[in-house]
Amino acid sequence: MTENLIVYYSRTGTARQVAETVAAHTGWTLAEVRDETPRAGLSGDLRCVLDMLLHRKPAYRYEGPRPAGCRHVVVIAPVWLGRLAAPMRGFIQDNAPFPGAVSAICVMAARGGFRAEDDIARLTRKTPEPALVVRQADVQSGEAAASLAAFARALRTRQTEPAPTGRPAWISSNEA
């Protein structure tokens, strides 16, 4: 059983770069969601748009630990048309709910990262914590390195700290 898992989907390689960076900082297992049919060129671009507009669930391949057997899963995916990329959406739909904790990194060109995080929360039925939105250009230029390192530190801190047992109960007297 894998205790901690990083699952990513990357069409252009940027989300893969993010996933590999986080895995290098944490030592967590890395697994990839891949398109069954490559999305290269104009026809690949068109399929991306149609998958998003028509809410299609594209065929994908995944060879990794099942999220159901993990204590913590980090989802890393690109943003397409302001939402979570269709292959990752399909993967989460097929594997949800995740019994353990969920974290997320969404890689966007310019906008839509927070809506993609909302998609992950809705599909996994958990609020991703920690969560991070990064711009593709910042990943490629190296400007996102500090944010990714901080995200990995937050994962490690969360892993070593005991989980909260709930809100403390405050008992007050009847004094006014």
Question: Each residue of 95-122: b (16+ CB within 10 Å) or e?
Answer: bbebebbbbbbbbbeeebbebbbebbbe
Q: What is the pTM of this model?
A: 0.86
How far lies 50's CA from each of 56, 81, 87, 108, 149, in Å? Answer: 8, 10, 12, 18, 35
Q: Greater confidence, 168 or 7?
A: 7
For 46, counting Cβ atoms within 10 Å of its Cβ (0-12 exposed, 13-18 middle, 19+ buried), the class is exposed
Q: Is the pLDDT of residue 172 over 60?
A: no
Q: Is the pLDDT of residue 164 over 50?
A: no
What is the pLDDT, as a whole number, of residue 1?
52
Structural domains for the chain: 4-160 (3.40.50.360)
